[in-house]
Structure 1
Amino acid sequence: MTMQTGAGSGGAPRRAPAFVGRQRELAALLGAAHSRPAVILVEGEAGIGKSRLVAEGAAELRREGVRVLTGACHPLREPLPFGPVVDALRDAGRWLRTGRTLGASAGVLAPLLPDLADRLPPAPSQAPGQSTSRHLVAQGVRTLVEAIAPAVLVVEDMQWADEATRELLLLLGRDLPADSALVLTYRAEDLPGRGPVLGTAFRRPSGTSGAEIALHRLGTEDLRAMARSVLGDQATPALLGTLVRRSEGLPLVAEEDLITLEGRPAGSVLGVPRSLREIFAERAERLPPPAVAVVNAAAVLAVPVGEQVLAACAGLDPAATGEALLVALSASVLREHGPDSYGFAHVLARQAQYDNLPGPVRYQLHRRALEVLQALPTPPLVQIAHHARALGDTAAWLEHAMAAAEQAVSVGDQGTAAALLHEILEEPRLPPDLHARAALSLARIAWDATEYTRTIATLRRIVAGPGLPAAARGEIRLDLGLMLLNQAADPSGEAEIERAVEELEGHRPEQAARAMSLLAMWETSRFSAAEQRAWLARAEATVAGSPDRAAQASVRANRITVLAGQGRPEATDLLAALPRTDPDPQVVRHTARALANAAEIGLCLARDAGAAEQCAEALALSRRHHAHALIVHCRSYELLLSWFAGEWPGWDERYAAFRAEYVDEPLAVDDLLASVEGVTAAARGRASRAVERFGRVLARDTARMNVNALGAAAGLARIQLSRGEADAAWRTVAEYLDVLPRKEAWVYALDLVPAAVEIALHRGESARARELADGHRDGVATLDAPGAVAEQHLCRGLLAAAGEPERAAREFDRARAQWSGIGRPYQAALAAERAGQSLGAVRAAEAVTRLTEAVGVYERLGATTDAARCHHLLRGLGQERAVSRGRAGYGSELSPREREVARLLGDGATNKEIAAALFLSPRTVEQHVAKVLRKLGTTRDGMRSTPGEAPAR
């Protein structure tokens, strides 16, 4: 039946209280919503008026032609992937024309929005049982919102959002369509762990505006205005004073009191201050018994339900229920939430009514609700579990909660599943079989989790406790180890995986083989190269006869990764033989992973052409099979390839945009990216920034000794050596030198060995330097390592430089030619500079040619300090260009040299550091600094406010 809501006791529409005391907050909300794209956060305690504020803003936006989509989170939501967002998007159909062409990414929403399927592209195919990636859903939501823009997506009560929904909204907020906004409301005190509303700190990307609005209790005048808007002449001073005292500034309490007063004769008064519970008790006393029964049933059911369910729970026949429901709606005790959906207007109101119920009545209603809900054609399992728990039946609650969790997993709602499983696993009387089932389920769905801290703690507790079968414990431990390594960057994960092998090997061979091959390919120093190969052989033997082709593909991909990382030539042929198509998409994903791993290793070994091809192929396969993590990694490899290729201008900006897009993605190549940032900073004279970048890598690598950190150790040691700190430089490289023979990582061309040889020579340890160079030569002799060949020439040149300059120059020239052939101009220029420096005393003309070549590259790259160093060498050879006298000055503009000084000042450099970076005298630097500060009208402290950038004039 259809009912009119919001009517007073006489049937006339009730006057809603005036919207008061929120003009500033409404202006902030609308101002941000008008500056789309925008992310707007509205925070406040229960009953403070968040929904009213958003409703007022939404009404204004709708009048302006903006499409507003609204969804809400609920504590007892039934499994539905990304439920609050899906609820909101259902309204988008009115603005989507049938036959309109949408981006293919919107097809992922078709299974979630069956009513809109005729207006959405086909859903992408996926393996049975495979859940849809949140990144794909976020892209689909973005495409749909963009199609109906201008649009605002509102999600209320985010404190009840599941983890998957929070992450989806986090991803969407980072990449909103241009003409859209996202509005989230929440109670900060009820957020999980009192953490950020989106599960992780949200930083608005460049170009996205927004607002963070915190609602506070209303003041006295605002409450009086609210009362006058409802009561008119009834609002006597005494009555207003009582209303203000009773509400204590909380709009919900004031509104409920006003509803009570509106139904009373003129001159009625309010009693002493009281709680919502007392307000609802008094209001219920004025309702007829059938209406009280309906209200009590609604309070116990806890979520909006249809009239038939209310009737069955209240124990009324349909006719009596209809009349009772009309009375409850007219008294504003209940409200209509949608077609045939009735419940309380606010969670506090429902809780107040629920608390008023005597224990026996409450128990009887829960028992009746349980029977009614179980008899429905599609039983709502989450609600059924809730009522079983309220009845104190722990066994029934566990049974129903586990069924609800498994249903959530089956429909892809991993957020709801995780929440239920955590609750189950916290039950101290959990039966052993259910304990194992729940723990395994949680471990298996943990991979998409952004908020992994709680899951890691839970899994640690589970594997440390008694009662689990060995196979189940091993599988859980394996997932725990992978979460520790991949998401928490905690090297203790390796020990967990090693223990998992022992627990799995006799029971689940495919899982055991997976664990073995993971240990084989991990980049830390825990296992030597020989031990890695042994793990691989053991893994291959374990899956040799297995029918699980995906498990075999996983082990095969890991074997290729290890062989490639050790420079083994056979890795190339094995990689080429991997399947690019297969009926099982998991097999192809392992091929994509092997290609991506080979591309990363190729960067470290300076096989740049092959790395570029492997990266492109891995990226194409990853996009085809929706492997989000591989897509992100391949894009990072593209950035590194461009840096090595000498595409330095604008590289920092491209990298910053990439990190802003994937701000919380754990990247295995973070060490490489930070290292090239450090090398760039050092080349431009920004030594403090370079030290920070290198130090950041080494600080987090102390326990891992990861081969990807070799470049950071070399970079920091070179800065220390340039400052005369030879002993500190040696200490920096010494630990990592031990990794090279253990991991057979001589092939990694990240400058560690040349740097160590140069430091040893500087310390007068020529025998050690020669031993290092010889070890390096022997370590790469038969391997596919083009970068190591160039570095071997550098080492030989360094060894010859003191007594045989022409021989040294030949070795440096060979290194230059090798780097040029690889396609790395910066490394080639460094080698050319060394050749020129060696030739300076014996063949000046050739020295000038080499140095001039290096200067040209440095200046194109913006390597200020390197160029200045070469100019200094050329001046020593009498070849520096003369500066013309009488040339027109730059006036109030900065000269090129002054811009270099300004950049270094912005980075906090001292005059001494600037002089060293630009090879200028201290007196000249003083003059340049004075001119820069005068022209810019600032001080040194003012310059540091924008580090690393030269202020524009």
Structure 2
Amino acid sequence: MTPPRTSSPVLVGRGDELAAVLHAVASQPSVVLVAGEAGVGKSRLVRELLGRPELRPLRVLTGFCQPLREPFPYGAVLDALRNVGGYLGRVSLSPVTGVLRPLVPEIAAHLPEPPERPDDPRHERHHLFRAVRELLGALGPVLLVVEDLHWADDGCRHLLRFLMSDPPPNLTTLVTYRREDAPGGMPLGSAYRPPAGVASVLVELDPLDVDEVHDLTAAILDVDAVPAEFAARLHERTAGIPFVVEEMLRALRDPDWRLLDAVEVPALLRDAMAERLARLPATGRRIAQAAAVLGVPATEELLAEVGAVAPARARSAITHALHSGVLHESAGVRYGFRHALAQQAVYDTLTGPERQRLHLRALAALDQVTPRPFMQLAEHSRRAGLLADWLRHGEAAADRALEVGDPSTATHLFQRLLDEASLTSADVDRLAVKLGQVARGGLDQHDPRATLERLLNDHRLSTAARGEVRLNLGFLLIRQFHGPQHGRDVIEHAIAELAERPDLAMRARAVLGQPFVGATPLADHLRWMREVDEFIAGCDDDEVRFALLANQLGSRMCIGDHTVMSELDRLPDTASDVGIRRNLARAHCNLADAFALVGHFDLARDFLDRGLRLTVGAGVPFTEGTGQSTRIHLDWYTGEWGSLADRATRLLEEYREMLPVAGEINLVLGCLAVARGDWGAAERHLADSGVRSVENSITPVALGGFAALTRLWSERGEPERACAEADRGLDLARRKGVWAWLGELAPAAVDAFCAAGRTEDAAKLVEEFDAGLADRDAPLAHVALKVCRALVAVQREDDDAVFLLHDARRAADDLGLRYYSAVLSERIALVELEHGDETAVAALGEVAARFDALGASRDAARCRHLVRGAGVATPSRRGRRGYGNALSPREQDVARLLAQGRTNREIADVLFLSPRTVEQHVARVLRKLGVASRADLLA
């Protein structure tokens, strides 16, 4: 992997601040004060400012204050004047400026002889201040930048106050500083108020939020996006301080949030914290060390107890630590560190015995707290070397995390406990089973997988526990990209080891019975499903029964089993037992997905709403994720596309590693991209819908991916490639044997076959489709069958072709399929246009408007192109809305394609426009957006 940049190529999260500074600089005379803690981005803001073209008329002079014990008087300002000699050749200077000759020898040749030195030092200083002011006034428009004013000597502060209080009319003075390191918190030594006529602005830079850390990380790593979990964890570790973010990324090779805790404290941050710690009195250092050991913000009383500081002296010690910037106050009058790396830097200053002693003191103090903080007790036990206590408190903390719906924390704790070599066989059995149970409902699939695979080779694990561990490993594998086929083998292997646990063995069979995984023929799934149905009939355990029904009802409904409708009352709306509630949440979400798949969209939304309500507080993020992806797919079907792409993209970031969720979201994003003519994005997303490895796919999602690819290549005028994708999808469908899932693929395939002259193949597919849907409850597939018959009739020029198209459109309207209804309306208008119906042209215009309303810009452009091709003038825009400086809908399409780096010819191809028309649109887009070129737009 290419090493990351050392800093971001773009300024992130500081747009408002930069605009405020630019406004002040343009209003000379002016003063700009930029405040913020170390590493927050003050210098970066200044660099960005100095690179702006608006500053070209200004002469920029820069000085830096240094953290020296004996700073040179006036050093930063005099330093900034060293290079101005070239501007002084033709300038008439007052004699007073001569006092600068010995102080700034680089420009001495351009200065008059110094005046006689006054006897009073105060007059001498006044002469110096006047000299600097007059010299700056003679240089023309000037921006004087002084960085790190908190390190300035008193003389420099006084000189700057003088310049800011009575500046020459051509001067902007900009200073940066850390308020916590400035004497009394005032960088100029005392409060400053700008005089009348001097523009001023104070910019306080705060740390970045999570979204801004995400953007900064993506810019540094030179990628479009990073996983949301990585950005959130990075923000947590760094408190959003840009310098710390950059240092963390410099130390990482991969954007993997699990590696963040292992990154050492950056040297610059470690040294800065050591310097601040050294300035504290002894009691302040003990308080800071106690805070570092505790690891979380703590009260004054707890810090004093752990740090062995007398209560009477604790408040003063904490105040010193706060003023030095070592500690920060958080909510609830608690004190801790600004970010985790600062805490680690102080923790690393402790010796081993010191750490152990402080952890033991923390244990003693926290053991009296109610409710008991098991997580903290576990961590202090581990670090103090008390392994038995670490096991007891760690397991209790993991159990508590599960109770409050935090499976991620529970998973991490169980993994760490299982790494202990001193565990007994009983401990390993118990913890391994708990880990598998929580991991299968969580989001982190890879770390638990590695631990479970290792445990299968652990000699301490009993046979019964090994079977359950293997089963849970199979559950994880079946959700991972490239894992379902192997996962099914692992689950089948586990059944033999679960002879003493028939309930678990039956759960394994229920998963093997789920028909939507891979290319396994339906007959194989049905064999497992029958065994599970027989078991359920005699099962009296509510939790086991609902766990099995959660799989069975969804599995049967998704293949169009009409008997499921009469069994829905077997599921109560809720339950008081959290285990049963988790299974009910899964049952409702699975049924919602099955209803969406076969086309019962109203039922799907009803069951989805109930299922997602049941997930609240149940600790089942995987179930919640599948429910959210079902909602995304439902919105695609029913044309709710307004914010669909943004919502789907955010969800994909969160569930990128989860095959059932990520595959479905990629399918929807791919379909949206096809409708917009965004071919590159369409191919990228559809490649991750399961089409590349059908044996490891979620089968109906992969079939949808083949349908979208077929439409894509048909739209791009490549009928052979369109037919090839259709053939691949149909091969999977025939191997699987579930025709209820061809609601999108069958019409796309028939259309492609007809366009390629394979009319007989199209007709044969219609016959197969009809036979495969016999006795199947699959409204979407039955609508698709009507569409297929109509398309074949159109190809054969049958007399009833138009009637069949209208019938198919009515069926699509009845299901609420807005997009497919518009597609059928376009086809009807084309057939009627071929038959000489003049009203068809107006109908095409109306369909274009429907596509525009959905956001299907490629389809809308195609309809308008067909209108123009019919020899009918495009209706004039006169009298329509004027867009002024706002982008019109067509200009928005052009701008979107420009932002993707498309050429004019490529844009013309997508939007069915002439290159000349596109050229005019591009010019208007650039003008309205206030950019000079395509490159500026991309930047």
- Structures share a fold, TM > 0.5? yes
Contact kept, 8 Å, 1:747 with 1:785, in 2: the verdict is yes
Aligned mates of 1:388, 1:808 — CA distance in 2: 78
Contact 1:865 1:918 in 2 (8 A): yes
CA distance in 1, matches of 2:413, 2:746: 53
Output the amino acid matched with 2:274. L
Q: Which residue of 1 aligns with 2:697?
A: 705
Among 490, 510, 513, the residue aligned to 2:483: 490
2:694/2:702 contact within 8 Å kept:
no
Partner of 1:481: 474
* Secondary structure, counterpart of 1:468 in structure 2: coil
The 5 Å alignment of 1:48-197 reads 170=232
| Contact 1:402 1:438 (8 Å CA) reproduced | no
Query: Per-residue CA shift, 1:814-873, capped at 9, x if unaligned?
Result: 211110111112211211221222233335246447535533422433433323333343
Task: Tell me what 1:788 maps to.
Answer: 781
Which residue pairs with 2:748 in the alignment? 755
From 251, 255, 274, the equivalent of 1:252 is: 274
Q: Are positions 1:695 and 2:687 aligned together? A: yes
Matched residue, 1:551: 544
- Structure 1 residues 944 and 758, CA gap change in structure 2 (3 angstroms): farther
Q: Which of these residues, 814, 835, 845, is aligned with residue 807 of structure 2?
A: 814
1:463 to 449, 456, 466: 456
Aligned match of 2:678: 686
Per-residue deviation at 1:647?
A: 3.4
Counterpart amino acid of 1:719?
L
2:396 corresponds to 1:403: no
Counterpart residue number, 2:667: 675
SS at match of 1:668: helix
Question: For residues 554 and 877 of structure 1, do their structure 2 counterparts lie closer, same or farther at Cα, with a shift above 3 Å needed?
Answer: same
The 3 A distance-change label for structure 1 pair 589 and 380 is closer
**1:506 Cα deviation after fit:** 0.8
Amino acid aligned to 1:815: A
Amino acid at match of 2:783: A
Going from structure 1 to structure 2, the CA distance change for 1:30 and 1:440 (only over 3 Å counts) comes to farther
Counterpart of 1:705 in structure 2: which amino acid? S
Which residue in the other structure is 2:107 paired with?
A: none
Partners of 2:719 and 2:623 in 1: how far apart?
Answer: 41
1:499 Cα deviation after fit = 3.7
Distance, in Å, in 1 between the alignment partners of 2:878 and 2:381 is 93
Aligned equivalents of 2:277 and 2:889: distance in 1? 68
Deviation of 1:473 (Å): 0.8
Mapped to 1, the partners of 2:494 and 2:770 lie a distance apart of 37
Find the residue that maps to 1:558 and give its secondary structure. Answer: helix
> C-alpha separation between the residues in 2 aligned to 1:153 and 1:544?
57
CA contact (8 A) 2:894 2:921 kept: yes
Deviation string, structure 1 residues 69-108 (Cα, Å, up to 9, x no partner) = xxxxxxxxxxxxxxxxxxxxxxxxxxxxxxxxxxxxxxxx
Matched letter for residue 810 of structure 1: F
Q: So what's the TM-score if we normalise by structure 1?
A: 0.60
> 1:599 & 1:709 partners in 2: Cα distance?
19
Following superposition, the deviation at residue 751 of structure 1 comes to: 1.9
Which residue number corresponds to residue 590 of structure 2? Answer: 597
CA distance in 2, matches of 1:746, 1:897: 40
**Equivalent residue of 2:696, what SS?**
coil
Question: Would the aligned equivalents of 1:686 and 1:909 in 2 still touch at CA under 8 Å?
Answer: no
Partners of 2:803 and 2:816 lie apart in 1 by 20
**Candidates 739, 744, 748, aligned match of 2:737:** 744
State whether structure 2 residue 609 is matched by structure 1 residue 616. yes
SS at the partner of 2:37?
Answer: helix
Q: 1:415/1:684 Cα in 2 relative to 1: closer, same or farther (>3 Å)?
A: closer
What pairs up with 1:240-639 in 2 under 5 angstroms? 249=271, 252=274, 256=278, 354=351, 399-412=388-401, 421-427=414-420, 431-447=424-440, 451-486=444-479, 490-491=483-484, 494-495=487-488, 497-521=490-514, 523-542=516-535, 544-623=537-616, 629-639=622-632
* Structure 2 contact 592–608 (Cα < 8 Å) conserved: yes
Q: For the Cα contact (< 8 Å) 1:674–1:694, is it kept in 2?
A: yes
Per the TM alignment, residue 778 of structure 1 is displaced from its structure 2 partner at its CA by 0.9
Give the secondary-structure state (helix, strand or coil) at the position aligned to 1:747.
Answer: helix
CA distance 1:350–1:555, shift in 2 (3 Å): closer
- Counterpart CA distance in 2 for 1:641 and 1:483 is 26
Contact preservation (8 Å) 1:844, 1:877: no
Greater Cα shift, 192-201 or 664-673: 192-201
Distance 1:538 1:504 in 2: 18
* Aligned counterpart in structure 1 of residue 727 of structure 2, from 716, 721, 734: 734
1: CA distance between counterparts of 2:367 and 2:252? Answer: 37
- CA distance in 2 between counterparts of 1:482 and 1:620 reads 24
Change (3 A) 1:846 1:637: same
Q: Secondary structure at the match of 1:837?
A: helix
Distance 1:383 1:534, change over 3 A: same
Q: 1:899 to 1:30 in 2, by over 3 A?
A: closer
Deviation at 1:508, TM superposition (A): 0.9
Q: CA deviation at 1:190?
A: 13
In percent, how many aligned pairs have the same letter?
A: 29
Gaps of at least 5 residues in structure 2 are 1-33, 45-177, 187-205, 210-227, 337-341
Residue in 1 aligned with 2:37? 25
Please tell me the residue identity of whatever aligns with 2:397: A
Counterpart position of 1:919: 912
Q: Which residue of 2 aligns with 1:88?
A: none
Task: Please say if residues 719 and 756 of structure 2, whose CA atoms lie closer than 8 Å, have aligned partners that are also in contact.
Answer: yes
What is the letter of the counterpart of residue 800 of structure 2? R
* Counterpart-to-counterpart distance in 2, 1:907 and 1:387: 52
TM-score (norm 2): 0.61
Q: Contact 1:504/1:511 (CA < 8 Å) preserved in 2?
A: no
Counterpart contact for 1:443–1:480, Cα < 8 Å:
yes
Corresponding residue for 1:716? 709
Q: 822-831 or 887-896: which moved more? A: 887-896
Partner of 2:795: 802
| Aligned match of 2:821 | 828
CA contact (8 A) 1:605 1:749 kept: no
Matched letter for residue 674 of structure 2: A
Question: Which stretches in structure 1 are left out of the alignment for 5+ residues?
Answer: 1-21, 33-52, 62-150, 155-165, 175-180, 203-212, 219-247, 263-275, 281-295, 314-320, 947-953
2:866 aligned to which of 851, 857, 873: 873
Match of 1:132 in 2: none
Query: Quick one: which of 629, 641, 653 aligns to 2:634?
Result: 641
TM-aligned CA distance change 1:861 to 1:633, over 3 Å: same
Is the CA contact (8 Å cut-off) linking 1:800 and 1:807 kept in structure 2? yes
Shift of residue 520, structure 1, vs aligned partner = 1.6
Structure 1 counterpart of 2:463, one-letter code: A
Structure 2 Cα separation of the partners of residues 167 and 485 of structure 1 = 22
Deviation, 1:476, is 1.0
* 1:646 and 1:825 in contact (8 A); partners too: yes
**Structure 1 counterpart SS, 2:749:** helix
Structure 1 residue 641, shift from structure 2 partner: 3.5
Closer, same or farther in 2 for the Cα pair 1:574/1:794, shift >3 Å?
same
Measure the CA separation in 2 of the matches of 1:919 and 1:306.
70
- Report the Cα offset of residue 889 of structure 1: 9.9
Residues 868, 249 of structure 1: alpha-carbon distance in 2 compared, 3 angstrom cutoff: closer
CA distance 1:201–1:724, shift in 2 (3 Å): farther
Read off the aligned partner of 2:680 and give its amino acid letter. Answer: S
Q: Is the contact between residue 442 and residue 621 of structure 2 (CA under 8 Å) also seen in structure 1?
A: no
* Higher RCO, Cα 8 Å, sep 6+: 1
Distance 1:455 1:331 in 2: 44
